């Protein structure tokens, strides 16, 4: 706090001219900006619906939006079975996993105040992967319902560990990223060691290792749903309190929020979202890092805007990448994890360059 020209310490920061300037310019613009943001959110939902229709439409035979519509609702339509048995579950899974990863990335970035925070970079996906590899090789587990508990446990342990080791409240971005990188590399070494002990496991898990939606069916979607729903709800509910926490622990308490409860809620949400998403599709990179970065210029740092935007646009990216992978890789397909990396990577590099 700077002293005023007459040498006394100002009573509040608002005594300084700069702060007064900020205060008079912000309020009149806020109303217009929030209507623009609301409009943007509607556009994002439209984009999500469009991409979902595309995702249902693309496949061995392309279905037009009209045919997709008929296939969805009309049991007599020739496309009813294709849509309901194969393409709808895949699309729903992509939707859920996209939302999960985007939201997890966004709330981790807010909690840790670290722009690099991403479930992949902090080792949380690797924790789930290590647990799933253990389950597959040592316990012979082969189904989603078997994987998910291991994945959740792995994600939970790593989330808590990276947060504790990274320094908890006093975490600096560099230390947190170091902790994440350390855990990530360690866990991936472990996964390699486990997989190397069993060549059949390599083959069994190779698609899962790259991140893919190909194995989606309604049973997986149904089993993912409860974990996903609780994680999503917790993640969205925490938006306001997390905003308060960004001002510091004392300010958050003054605003009636309990910092420890907020941190615990974030860790629970991240664990549920990342653990179940990784169990269903394998590790998918970049969604959690990229979407919040892309959205922030429009929404600003306010999580009450940032999180809904992220939750809607992250599945747009994931489903779009999945459709693209099916087009580019035909007659087979490219795993969505590869596409998000190759597609999201350059976009991420551009964003890094564009930032000053």
Partner 1 sequence: MIEKKAPIGRKVGVRPRAVVVGVVAALGAFVISVFSLGTGDFEIAPADVMTTLFGEGEPAHEFIIGELRLPRLITALLVGAALAAGGAVFQSLVRNPLGSPDMLGVTNGASTAALTVIILGGTSTQLSIAAVAGGLATTVLIQLIAGRALHGFRFILVGIGMAAILTGISGYLLTRGVQMENARALLWLTGSLDGRDWGQAVPMLIVLGVTLPVLLLACGPGLRMLEMGDDSASALGVPVPLLRNGALMSAALLVSFAAAAAGPVNFVALIAPHLAKRLTRAPGPNLVPSIFVGALLLTGADFLAQHLLTDRALPVGVVTGLVGGAYLVWLLTTERRAGRI
Residues 230 and 84: their CA atoms lie apart, in Å, by 25
**Smaller CB distance to partner 1: residue 239 or 294?**
294
329 CA to centre of own chain: 25
| Pair of tokens at residue 98 | 């996209």
Quote the CA–CA distance of 218 and 89 in Å, as a whole number.
Answer: 5
| Cβ count near 342 (within 10 Å) | 15
Check: CB of residue 308 under 8 Å from CB of residue 107: no
The Cα-based distances of 195 to 53, 71, 200 in angstroms read: 38, 41, 8
Q: Does 157 bind partner 1 (CB under 8 A)?
A: no
Work out which of 61, 170, 250, 260 binds partner 1, going by CB under 8 A.
Answer: 170
Task: Check binding of 169 to partner 1 (CB under 8 A).
Answer: no
Q: Looking at beta carbons only, is 209 or 234 nearer to partner 1?
A: 209
Q: From residue 197, how far is each of 9, 53, 109, 140 by CA, in Å? A: 68, 43, 36, 14
Cis ω for the linkage preceding 331 (within 30 of 0): yes
Q: How near is the Cβ of 210 to partner 1 at its closest, in Å?
A: 3
Query: Does residue 207 touch partner 1 according to CB under 8 A?
Result: yes
| Among the listed residues 18, 196, 237, 261, the single contact to partner 1 using CB under 8 A | 196
Among 66, 199, 250, 260, binds partner 1 (CB under 8 A): 199
Which one of the spans 8-16, 54-62, 90-98, 198-206 is the region binding partner 1 (CB under 8 A)? 198-206
187 near partner 1 (CB under 8 A)? yes
**Which DSSP string corresponds to 299-345?**
H-S-HHHHHHHHHHHHHHHHHHHHHHHHHHTTTS---HHHHHHHHHH
Beta carbon of residue 352, minimum distance to partner 1 (angstroms, whole number): 4
Among 190, 218, 258, 298, binds partner 1 (CB under 8 A): 190
Q: Contact region for partner 1 (CB under 8 A) — 84-92, 147-155, 168-176, 221-229?
A: 168-176
Count of residues near partner 1 by CB under 8 A? 52
| Tokens describing residue 74 | 């009309």
The DSSP call for residue 10 is P
Token representation of residue 4: 């005023």
The contact mask relative to partner 1 for 31-70 (x = CB under 8 A, - = no) is ----------------------------------------
Query: Tokens in use for 273?
Result: 């979202």
Distance CA 255, CA 334 (A): 48
Complex with partner 1: residue 235 or 337, whichever CB lies closer: 337
CB of 333 to partner 1, least distance (A): 10
Stretch that binds partner 1, among 33-41, 94-102, 259-267, 342-350 (CB under 8 A): 342-350
**Closest distance between partner 1 and the C-beta of residue 188, in Å?**
7
Per-residue interface string for the shown chain with partner 1, residues 96-125, x marking contact by CB under 8 A: --------------------x---xx----
Structure tokens that stand for 186 in this block: 């360690």
- Of 38, 113, 108, nearest to 304 by C-alpha is 38
CB of 342 vs partner 1, minimal distance in Å: 6
Which DSSP state fits 212? -
34/175 Cα distance (integer angstroms)? 35
> CB-wise, 130 or 245, nearer to partner 1?
130
Contact assessment for residue 120 and residue 285, using Cβ atoms and an 8 Å cutoff: yes
Cβ-based nearer residue to partner 1, 45 or 214 = 214
Would you count residue 337 as binding partner 1 (CB under 8 A)? yes
Q: Does 134 bind partner 1 (CB under 8 A)?
A: no
Q: What are the residues binding partner 1 (CB under 8 A)?
A: 116, 120-121, 161, 165-167, 170, 172, 174-175, 177-179, 181-183, 185-190, 192-193, 195-196, 199, 202-203, 206-207, 209-211, 285-286, 334-335, 337-342, 345-346, 348-349, 352-353, 355
């Amino acid at each position: 706090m700077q002293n005023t020209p007459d040498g006394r310490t100002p009573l509040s920061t608002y005594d300084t001219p700069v702060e007064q300037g900020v205060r008079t310019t912000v309020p009149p613009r806020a109303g217009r900006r929030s209507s623009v943001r609301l409009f943007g959110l509607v556009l994002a939902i439209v984009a999500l619906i469009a991409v979902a229709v595309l995702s249902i439409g693309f496949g061995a035979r392309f279905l037009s939006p009209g045919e997709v519509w008929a296939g969805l609702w009309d049991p007599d339509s020739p496309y009813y079975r294709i849509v309901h048995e194969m393409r709808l579950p895949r699309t729903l899974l992509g939707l859920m996993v996209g939302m999960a990863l985007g939201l997890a990335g966004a709330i981790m970035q807010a909690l840790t105040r670290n722009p690099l925070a991403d479930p992949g970079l902090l080792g949380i996906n690797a924790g789930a992967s290590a647990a799933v590899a253990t389950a597959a090789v040592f316990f012979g587990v082969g189904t989603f319902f078997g994987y998910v508990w291991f994945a959740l446990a792995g994600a939970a342990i790593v989330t808590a560990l990276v947060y504790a080791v990274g320094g908890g409240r006093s975490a600096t971005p560099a230390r947190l990223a170091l902790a994440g990188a350390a855990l990530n590399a360690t866990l991936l070494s472990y996964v390699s060691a486990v997989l190397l002990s069993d060549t059949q496991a390599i083959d069994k898990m190779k698609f899962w290792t790259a991140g893919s939606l190909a194995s989606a069916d309604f049973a997986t979607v149904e089993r993912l749903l409860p974990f996903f729903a609780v994680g999503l709800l917790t993640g969205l509910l925490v938006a306001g309190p997390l905003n308060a926490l960004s001002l510091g622990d004392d300010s958050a308490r003054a605003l009636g929020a309990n910092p420890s409860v907020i941190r615990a809620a974030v860790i629970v949400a991240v664990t549920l979202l990342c653990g179940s998403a990784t169990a269903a599709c394998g590790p998918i990179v970049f969604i959690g890092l990229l979407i919040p970065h892309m959205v922030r210029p429009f929404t600003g740092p306010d999580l009450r805007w940032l999180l809904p935007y992220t939750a809607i646009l992250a599945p747009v990216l994931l489903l779009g990448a999945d459709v693209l992978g099916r087009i580019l890789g035909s007659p087979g397909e490219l795993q969505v994890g590869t596409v998000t990396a190759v597609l999201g990577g350059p976009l991420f590099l551009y964003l890094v360059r564009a930032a000053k």
